[in-house]
């Protein structure tokens, strides 16, 4: 193909979940099949680049210094802060309507094999919030995998001297799940998290 087509394809391939063939299909759609959509995408992306920034408190997406949640006293009054890996995790929790406190987004989890250490994560800002004394409970809602586990332990060690209450979300069978189809890690988590009636 042509050089500028290939350059576009390689940029699209860097988007999460996009492989070589999907990037090819996207580039063809944007350039030949629906050329008007490429103009709209450039405009939307340019506008979002100008307007969108990250909340200086919790790190999520916002358009001013502080996001809507951090600016909402009803959300911050309890002092509960839910620590999540990505902004999309925050969005999932918000959609569930199951949580009324505020958040802190790490933008990743510890992963030495991928070169991601504590300095690559949004941990300094979390420690500043802890030091400021407005946090009553930190709820770690990180993934149920080895890297999520490691990140939790790192944070717990870091937070211990500050005497802040730290909890972790429960693990076990998801809603609608059955023991038959659950994997070994889920079953182990579910057994460990058993509760008496």
Residue 58 is a binding residue for its own copies (CB under 8 A): no
Q: Which residues contact 185 (CB under 8 A, 6 or more apart)?
A: 144
Span of 45-53, 76-84, 132-140, 178-186 interacting with its own copies by CB under 8 A: 45-53
For its own copies, the binding residues in 68-97 under the rule CB under 8 A are: 86-88, 91
Q: Which is nearer to its own copies, 55 or 130 (CB)?
A: 55
With beta carbons less than 8 A apart as the criterion, state whether 60 and 90 touch.
yes
For its own copies, the binding residues in 95-114 under the rule CB under 8 A are: 107-108
Instruction: Figure out which of the listed residues 49, 161, 178, 180 binds its own copies, where binding follows CB under 8 A.
Output: 49
Helices and strands of the chain, counted as H and E runs: 8, 6
177 vs 39: CA distance, rounded Å: 44
Q: Which is nearer to its own copies, 59 or 159 (CB)?
A: 59
127 vs 26: CA distance, rounded Å: 42
Q: Could you give the 3-state DSSP secondary structure of residue 82?
A: strand
Q: Which is nearer to its own copies, 7 or 146 (CB)?
A: 7
User: What is the 8-class DSSP label of residue 97?
Assistant: T
Span of 24-32, 71-79, 150-158, 161-169 interacting with its own copies by CB under 8 A: 24-32
Residue 22 is a binding residue for its own copies (CB under 8 A): yes
Residue 174 is a binding residue for its own copies (CB under 8 A): no
Strands annotated E in 30-144: 53-54, 61-62, 80-84, 102-105, 137-140
Span of 37-45, 128-136, 139-147, 175-183 interacting with its own copies by CB under 8 A: 37-45
Q: Which residues bind its own copies (CB under 8 A)?
A: 1-5, 7-8, 10-12, 14-18, 21-22, 24-35, 37-42, 44-52, 54, 61-63, 86-88, 91, 107-108
């Amino acid at each position: 193909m042509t050089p500028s087509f290939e350059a576009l394809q390689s940029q699209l391939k860097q988007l999460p979940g996009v492989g070589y063939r999907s990037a090819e299909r996207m580039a063809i759609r944007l350039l030949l099949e629906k050329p008007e959509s490429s103009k709209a995408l450039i405009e939307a992306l340019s506008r979002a680049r100008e307007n969108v920034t990250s909340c200086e408190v919790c790190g999520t997406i916002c358009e001013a210094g502080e996001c809507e949640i951090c600016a909402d006293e009803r959300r911050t009054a309890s002092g509960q802060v839910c620590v999540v890996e990505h902004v999309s995790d925050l969005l999932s929790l918000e959609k569930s309507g199951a949580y009324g406190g505020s958040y802190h987004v790490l933008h990743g989890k510890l992963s030495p094999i991928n070169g991601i250490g504590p300095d690559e994560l949004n941990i300094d800002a979390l420690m500043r919030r802890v030091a400021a004394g407005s946090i009553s409970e930190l709820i770690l809602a990180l993934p149920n995998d080895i890297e999520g586990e490691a990140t939790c332990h790192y944070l717990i060690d870091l937070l211990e001297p500050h005497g802040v209450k730290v909890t972790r979300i429960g693990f076990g069978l998801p809603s609608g799940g059955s023991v038959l189809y659950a994997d070994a890690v889920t079953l182990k988590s579910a057994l460990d998290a058993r509760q008496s009636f």
